[in-house]
Structure 1
Amino acid sequence: MRPWLLLTAALLPGAAAAGHDVSLGVTAVTLTNGGVYNVTAPRLGLDASYAYELGAWRLGGGLRWAPAGRGNLPVEVYARALLSTQLGRWRPAVGPELGVSGLPIILPPEGGFPDDLSRQQAAQLGPAYVAVHAAPLRFAFRHFTVSALELQWGTTLNRPGSTLRLQFGLVHLGVSL
Protein backbone atom coordinates (compact mmCIF):
# COMPACT_ATOMS: atom_id res chain seq x y z
CA MET A 1 0.00 0.00 0.00
CA ARG A 2 1.26 3.48 -0.77
CA PRO A 3 2.61 5.55 2.16
CA TRP A 4 0.46 8.61 1.35
CA LEU A 5 -2.68 6.45 1.46
CA LEU A 6 -1.72 5.15 4.92
CA LEU A 7 -1.02 8.70 6.08
CA THR A 8 -4.40 9.90 4.78
CA ALA A 9 -6.19 7.01 6.52
CA ALA A 10 -4.41 7.85 9.79
CA LEU A 11 -5.21 11.57 9.60
CA LEU A 12 -8.83 11.15 8.52
CA PRO A 13 -10.15 8.19 10.51
CA GLY A 14 -13.78 8.93 9.65
CA ALA A 15 -13.26 9.23 5.90
CA ALA A 16 -14.97 5.91 5.24
CA ALA A 17 -18.07 7.08 7.14
CA ALA A 18 -18.43 10.31 5.17
CA GLY A 19 -21.93 11.37 4.10
CA HIS A 20 -23.89 14.20 2.56
CA ASP A 21 -26.69 16.02 4.37
CA VAL A 22 -29.12 18.62 3.04
CA SER A 23 -31.56 20.51 5.25
CA LEU A 24 -34.18 23.22 5.15
CA GLY A 25 -35.19 25.31 8.14
CA VAL A 26 -36.75 28.43 9.58
CA THR A 27 -34.49 30.99 11.24
CA ALA A 28 -34.70 34.39 12.95
CA VAL A 29 -31.84 36.94 12.63
CA THR A 30 -31.28 40.06 14.76
CA LEU A 31 -28.58 42.63 13.95
CA THR A 32 -27.75 45.55 16.24
CA ASN A 33 -24.95 47.94 17.14
CA GLY A 34 -26.68 49.43 20.17
CA GLY A 35 -26.97 52.86 18.57
CA VAL A 36 -29.47 54.48 16.26
CA TYR A 37 -29.33 51.34 14.15
CA ASN A 38 -30.92 49.19 16.83
CA VAL A 39 -33.34 46.80 15.21
CA THR A 40 -34.55 44.50 17.97
CA ALA A 41 -37.26 42.72 15.97
CA PRO A 42 -35.88 39.52 14.42
CA ARG A 43 -36.17 38.91 10.68
CA LEU A 44 -37.71 35.52 9.93
CA GLY A 45 -36.34 33.60 7.00
CA LEU A 46 -35.60 30.28 5.35
CA ASP A 47 -32.26 28.50 5.58
CA ALA A 48 -31.14 25.87 3.05
CA SER A 49 -27.86 24.14 3.88
CA TYR A 50 -25.55 21.37 2.78
CA ALA A 51 -23.04 19.50 4.94
CA TYR A 52 -20.42 16.90 4.14
CA GLU A 53 -19.91 14.71 7.17
CA LEU A 54 -16.33 13.62 7.58
CA GLY A 55 -15.87 11.75 10.83
CA ALA A 56 -16.65 14.19 13.63
CA TRP A 57 -16.65 17.21 11.27
CA ARG A 58 -19.59 18.67 9.34
CA LEU A 59 -18.19 20.86 6.53
CA GLY A 60 -20.58 22.81 4.36
CA GLY A 61 -22.52 25.96 3.77
CA GLY A 62 -25.81 27.34 2.69
CA LEU A 63 -28.11 30.16 1.80
CA ARG A 64 -30.48 32.19 3.99
CA TRP A 65 -33.36 34.25 2.67
CA ALA A 66 -35.06 36.72 5.06
CA PRO A 67 -37.52 38.80 3.01
CA ALA A 68 -39.23 40.66 5.89
CA GLY A 69 -38.17 44.22 6.64
CA ARG A 70 -36.49 47.03 4.77
CA GLY A 71 -32.93 46.99 3.58
CA ASN A 72 -30.54 45.46 1.12
CA LEU A 73 -30.82 42.23 -0.79
CA PRO A 74 -32.27 39.90 1.90
CA VAL A 75 -29.86 37.00 1.27
CA GLU A 76 -26.90 35.50 3.13
CA VAL A 77 -24.35 33.00 1.83
CA TYR A 78 -22.23 31.16 4.37
CA ALA A 79 -19.69 28.38 4.96
CA ARG A 80 -19.19 26.55 8.24
CA ALA A 81 -17.14 23.83 9.90
CA LEU A 82 -18.93 22.19 12.82
CA LEU A 83 -17.46 19.70 15.24
CA SER A 84 -20.07 17.09 16.11
CA THR A 85 -20.38 14.16 18.46
CA GLN A 86 -22.71 11.18 18.53
CA LEU A 87 -24.52 9.96 21.65
CA GLY A 88 -27.26 7.61 20.50
CA ARG A 89 -29.63 9.69 18.37
CA TRP A 90 -28.30 12.97 19.77
CA ARG A 91 -25.83 14.74 17.41
CA PRO A 92 -24.94 18.18 18.85
CA ALA A 93 -22.59 20.37 16.81
CA VAL A 94 -20.63 23.60 17.30
CA GLY A 95 -18.15 25.59 15.22
CA PRO A 96 -17.34 28.73 13.24
CA GLU A 97 -19.37 30.21 10.39
CA LEU A 98 -18.10 32.73 7.85
CA GLY A 99 -20.55 34.50 5.57
CA VAL A 100 -21.63 37.44 3.47
CA SER A 101 -24.90 39.11 4.41
CA GLY A 102 -27.26 41.47 2.65
CA LEU A 103 -29.47 41.78 5.74
CA PRO A 104 -28.12 44.88 7.53
CA ILE A 105 -30.70 47.65 7.54
CA ILE A 106 -29.75 51.31 7.91
CA LEU A 107 -32.61 53.25 9.43
CA PRO A 108 -32.77 56.97 8.56
CA PRO A 109 -31.98 59.15 11.59
CA GLU A 110 -34.83 61.01 13.26
CA GLY A 111 -34.90 63.73 15.86
CA GLY A 112 -31.97 66.08 15.27
CA PHE A 113 -29.22 63.61 14.41
CA PRO A 114 -26.53 64.65 11.90
CA ASP A 115 -27.28 64.02 8.23
CA ASP A 116 -24.19 61.84 7.77
CA LEU A 117 -25.16 59.46 10.62
CA SER A 118 -26.53 56.88 8.18
CA ARG A 119 -23.21 56.84 6.31
CA GLN A 120 -21.28 56.42 9.57
CA GLN A 121 -23.57 53.59 10.65
CA ALA A 122 -23.19 51.90 7.24
CA ALA A 123 -19.40 51.91 7.69
CA GLN A 124 -19.84 49.72 10.78
CA LEU A 125 -22.07 47.22 9.01
CA GLY A 126 -19.93 45.51 6.40
CA PRO A 127 -21.36 42.55 4.53
CA ALA A 128 -18.86 39.92 5.77
CA TYR A 129 -19.36 38.36 9.18
CA VAL A 130 -17.93 35.66 11.43
CA ALA A 131 -19.96 33.77 14.03
CA VAL A 132 -20.02 30.78 16.35
CA HIS A 133 -22.82 28.40 15.46
CA ALA A 134 -24.20 25.87 17.97
CA ALA A 135 -26.82 23.18 17.38
CA PRO A 136 -27.31 21.59 20.82
CA LEU A 137 -30.67 19.95 20.02
CA ARG A 138 -29.80 18.05 16.84
CA PHE A 139 -31.05 14.47 16.49
CA ALA A 140 -30.74 11.78 13.80
CA PHE A 141 -33.41 9.21 12.95
CA ARG A 142 -32.06 6.82 10.33
CA HIS A 143 -31.54 9.01 7.23
CA PHE A 144 -33.34 12.06 8.66
CA THR A 145 -32.14 14.83 10.99
CA VAL A 146 -34.09 17.26 13.14
CA SER A 147 -32.56 20.28 14.84
CA ALA A 148 -34.28 22.88 17.01
CA LEU A 149 -33.23 26.04 18.83
CA GLU A 150 -29.86 26.50 17.13
CA LEU A 151 -27.96 29.56 18.31
CA GLN A 152 -25.48 31.76 16.49
CA TRP A 153 -23.50 34.69 17.90
CA GLY A 154 -21.21 36.84 15.76
CA THR A 155 -19.99 40.18 14.45
CA THR A 156 -19.00 41.89 11.21
CA LEU A 157 -15.44 41.47 9.95
CA ASN A 158 -14.72 45.06 8.92
CA ARG A 159 -15.01 46.33 12.55
CA PRO A 160 -15.22 43.32 14.89
CA GLY A 161 -17.23 44.02 18.01
CA SER A 162 -19.03 47.05 16.59
CA THR A 163 -22.06 44.99 15.60
CA LEU A 164 -23.79 42.10 17.32
CA ARG A 165 -25.36 39.38 15.24
CA LEU A 166 -27.76 36.93 16.89
CA GLN A 167 -29.50 34.17 15.04
CA PHE A 168 -31.90 31.54 16.28
CA GLY A 169 -32.51 28.46 14.15
CA LEU A 170 -36.06 27.62 15.08
CA VAL A 171 -36.27 24.25 13.34
CA HIS A 172 -34.29 22.43 10.63
CA LEU A 173 -35.27 19.21 8.89
CA GLY A 174 -32.66 17.32 6.92
CA VAL A 175 -31.99 14.15 5.00
CA SER A 176 -28.75 12.22 4.56
CA LEU A 177 -27.96 11.23 0.98
Structure 2
Amino acid sequence: MLFTLGGIAALIGDHSHVATGTTAYDTDAVPFIWSSPIWFPVLVGGATVILAELRLHFPALRDGVSARQAVAGVAAVVGLYVTTALVHDGPVVPVTALIAAGAVIVWCVLGDGPAAVCGAVIAVVGPAVEIALVHLDVFAYHPDADQLFGVGPFLVPLYFAFGVVAALLGELTVARRPVDARPVCDTVSRGSGAD
Protein backbone atom coordinates (compact mmCIF):
# COMPACT_ATOMS: atom_id res chain seq x y z
CA MET A 1 0.00 0.00 0.00
CA LEU A 2 2.82 2.47 0.84
CA PHE A 3 4.53 1.69 -2.46
CA THR A 4 1.33 2.42 -4.41
CA LEU A 5 0.59 5.57 -2.43
CA GLY A 6 4.10 6.93 -3.06
CA GLY A 7 3.88 6.08 -6.74
CA ILE A 8 0.51 7.79 -7.22
CA ALA A 9 1.61 10.94 -5.39
CA ALA A 10 4.77 10.97 -7.54
CA LEU A 11 2.72 10.77 -10.75
CA ILE A 12 0.59 13.76 -9.72
CA GLY A 13 3.62 15.88 -8.85
CA ASP A 14 5.63 14.85 -11.88
CA HIS A 15 2.72 15.51 -14.23
CA SER A 16 2.53 19.01 -12.74
CA HIS A 17 6.24 19.49 -13.42
CA VAL A 18 5.95 18.30 -17.02
CA ALA A 19 2.73 20.25 -17.71
CA THR A 20 4.27 23.53 -16.52
CA GLY A 21 7.65 22.96 -18.17
CA THR A 22 9.47 22.64 -14.85
CA THR A 23 11.00 19.42 -16.14
CA ALA A 24 11.20 17.75 -19.54
CA TYR A 25 12.14 14.14 -20.25
CA ASP A 26 14.77 13.56 -22.92
CA THR A 27 13.98 9.90 -23.45
CA ASP A 28 11.15 7.72 -24.63
CA ALA A 29 13.09 4.46 -24.28
CA VAL A 30 10.67 3.15 -21.64
CA PRO A 31 6.87 3.21 -21.38
CA PHE A 32 5.30 6.26 -19.76
CA ILE A 33 2.51 6.38 -17.20
CA TRP A 34 0.69 9.68 -17.65
CA SER A 35 3.63 12.13 -17.99
CA SER A 36 6.29 9.98 -16.27
CA PRO A 37 8.55 7.16 -17.40
CA ILE A 38 7.54 3.96 -15.65
CA TRP A 39 10.67 3.93 -13.48
CA PHE A 40 9.76 7.23 -11.79
CA PRO A 41 6.76 6.07 -9.71
CA VAL A 42 8.66 2.85 -9.01
CA LEU A 43 11.59 4.83 -7.56
CA VAL A 44 9.36 7.06 -5.43
CA GLY A 45 7.19 4.14 -4.29
CA GLY A 46 10.32 2.23 -3.31
CA ALA A 47 11.72 5.26 -1.48
CA THR A 48 8.44 5.58 0.43
CA VAL A 49 8.70 1.99 1.64
CA ILE A 50 12.41 2.32 2.51
CA LEU A 51 11.87 5.52 4.51
CA ALA A 52 8.89 4.03 6.34
CA GLU A 53 11.00 1.00 7.22
CA LEU A 54 13.91 3.22 8.30
CA ARG A 55 11.62 5.00 10.77
CA LEU A 56 10.69 1.66 12.31
CA HIS A 57 14.34 1.07 13.22
CA PHE A 58 14.42 4.15 15.43
CA PRO A 59 13.16 3.98 19.02
CA ALA A 60 10.07 5.65 20.43
CA LEU A 61 7.51 4.80 17.79
CA ARG A 62 4.45 6.93 18.39
CA ASP A 63 1.22 5.00 18.83
CA GLY A 64 -0.94 8.11 18.57
CA VAL A 65 -0.50 8.64 14.82
CA SER A 66 -3.74 8.54 12.87
CA ALA A 67 -4.93 7.95 9.33
CA ARG A 68 -6.13 11.55 9.35
CA GLN A 69 -2.56 12.77 9.98
CA ALA A 70 -1.31 10.51 7.19
CA VAL A 71 -3.86 11.92 4.74
CA ALA A 72 -2.89 15.46 5.75
CA GLY A 73 0.80 14.65 5.31
CA VAL A 74 0.36 13.14 1.86
CA ALA A 75 -1.81 16.09 0.82
CA ALA A 76 0.80 18.54 2.11
CA VAL A 77 3.63 16.86 0.19
CA VAL A 78 1.60 16.68 -3.02
CA GLY A 79 0.63 20.33 -2.51
CA LEU A 80 4.28 21.34 -2.06
CA TYR A 81 5.25 19.32 -5.13
CA VAL A 82 2.59 21.02 -7.25
CA THR A 83 3.60 24.40 -5.84
CA THR A 84 7.15 23.84 -7.11
CA ALA A 85 5.68 23.36 -10.56
CA LEU A 86 3.66 26.57 -10.37
CA VAL A 87 6.49 28.79 -9.10
CA HIS A 88 9.53 27.15 -10.74
CA ASP A 89 10.34 30.24 -12.79
CA GLY A 90 10.31 32.58 -9.79
CA PRO A 91 13.44 33.89 -8.05
CA VAL A 92 15.31 30.99 -6.47
CA VAL A 93 15.50 32.28 -2.88
CA PRO A 94 11.79 33.10 -2.39
CA VAL A 95 10.70 29.87 -4.12
CA THR A 96 13.04 27.72 -2.04
CA ALA A 97 12.09 29.60 1.15
CA LEU A 98 8.39 28.99 0.43
CA ILE A 99 8.89 25.24 0.02
CA ALA A 100 11.21 25.14 3.05
CA ALA A 101 8.59 26.90 5.18
CA GLY A 102 6.02 24.32 4.12
CA ALA A 103 8.43 21.49 4.90
CA VAL A 104 9.15 22.89 8.38
CA ILE A 105 5.41 23.13 9.07
CA VAL A 106 4.95 19.52 7.95
CA TRP A 107 7.69 18.41 10.35
CA CYS A 108 6.47 20.55 13.26
CA VAL A 109 2.88 19.33 12.93
CA LEU A 110 3.40 15.70 11.90
CA GLY A 111 6.99 14.69 12.62
CA ASP A 112 9.37 13.96 15.45
CA GLY A 113 13.16 13.63 15.79
CA PRO A 114 13.49 10.32 13.92
CA ALA A 115 11.20 11.63 11.16
CA ALA A 116 13.58 14.57 10.75
CA VAL A 117 16.43 12.09 10.29
CA CYS A 118 14.42 10.27 7.60
CA GLY A 119 13.71 13.63 5.99
CA ALA A 120 17.37 14.64 6.11
CA VAL A 121 18.47 11.36 4.52
CA ILE A 122 16.14 11.68 1.55
CA ALA A 123 16.81 15.43 1.28
CA VAL A 124 20.38 14.45 0.37
CA VAL A 125 19.78 11.22 -1.55
CA GLY A 126 16.78 12.38 -3.62
CA PRO A 127 18.38 15.48 -5.15
CA ALA A 128 21.66 13.57 -5.65
CA VAL A 129 19.83 10.92 -7.70
CA GLU A 130 18.06 13.62 -9.71
CA ILE A 131 21.35 15.45 -10.32
CA ALA A 132 22.87 12.21 -11.63
CA LEU A 133 19.89 11.62 -13.94
CA VAL A 134 20.08 15.18 -15.26
CA HIS A 135 23.78 14.72 -16.02
CA LEU A 136 22.94 11.46 -17.80
CA ASP A 137 20.53 13.47 -19.99
CA VAL A 138 17.48 11.51 -18.84
CA PHE A 139 15.58 14.72 -18.12
CA ALA A 140 16.24 18.41 -17.57
CA TYR A 141 14.95 21.16 -15.37
CA HIS A 142 13.81 24.49 -16.78
CA PRO A 143 16.73 26.96 -16.93
CA ASP A 144 15.02 29.09 -14.25
CA ALA A 145 14.94 26.08 -11.90
CA ASP A 146 18.29 24.34 -12.29
CA GLN A 147 20.58 26.25 -9.92
CA LEU A 148 21.49 23.21 -7.79
CA PHE A 149 23.85 21.33 -10.11
CA GLY A 150 21.11 21.14 -12.75
CA VAL A 151 18.06 20.64 -10.51
CA GLY A 152 15.82 22.94 -8.53
CA PRO A 153 17.07 23.96 -5.06
CA PHE A 154 13.48 23.56 -3.86
CA LEU A 155 14.00 19.79 -4.13
CA VAL A 156 15.90 19.70 -0.84
CA PRO A 157 13.00 20.87 1.37
CA LEU A 158 10.46 19.03 -0.80
CA TYR A 159 12.29 15.75 -0.26
CA PHE A 160 12.63 16.54 3.44
CA ALA A 161 8.83 16.89 3.78
CA PHE A 162 8.42 13.65 1.83
CA GLY A 163 10.75 11.85 4.25
CA VAL A 164 8.87 13.14 7.29
CA VAL A 165 5.55 11.95 5.90
CA ALA A 166 6.95 8.57 4.81
CA ALA A 167 8.22 8.09 8.38
CA LEU A 168 4.74 8.90 9.70
CA LEU A 169 3.26 6.34 7.31
CA GLY A 170 5.67 3.75 8.68
CA GLU A 171 4.54 4.50 12.22
CA LEU A 172 0.91 4.29 11.16
CA THR A 173 1.35 0.83 9.68
CA VAL A 174 2.75 -0.42 12.99
CA ALA A 175 0.22 1.45 15.14
CA ARG A 176 -2.64 -0.21 13.26
CA ARG A 177 -1.33 -3.75 13.81
CA PRO A 178 -2.76 -5.77 16.67
CA VAL A 179 -0.40 -5.68 19.66
CA ASP A 180 0.23 -9.43 19.56
CA ALA A 181 1.29 -9.17 15.87
CA ARG A 182 4.02 -6.58 16.56
CA PRO A 183 7.62 -7.54 17.17
CA VAL A 184 8.58 -7.50 20.85
CA CYS A 185 11.00 -4.58 20.32
CA ASP A 186 8.14 -2.49 18.86
CA THR A 187 5.88 -2.93 21.88
CA VAL A 188 8.70 -2.23 24.32
CA SER A 189 10.16 0.84 22.60
CA ARG A 190 6.96 2.64 21.67
CA GLY A 191 6.68 6.19 22.94
CA SER A 192 4.08 8.88 22.68
CA GLY A 193 4.13 12.37 21.27
CA ALA A 194 6.58 14.32 19.18
CA ASP A 195 9.93 15.81 20.11
Q: Does the pair score TM above 0.5? A: no
Give the structure with the higher percent strand.
1
Higher relative contact order (CA 8 A, sep 6+): 2
For normalisation by structure 2, the TM-score amounts to 0.29
Say which one has the larger Rg.
Answer: 1
For normalisation by structure 1, the TM-score amounts to 0.32
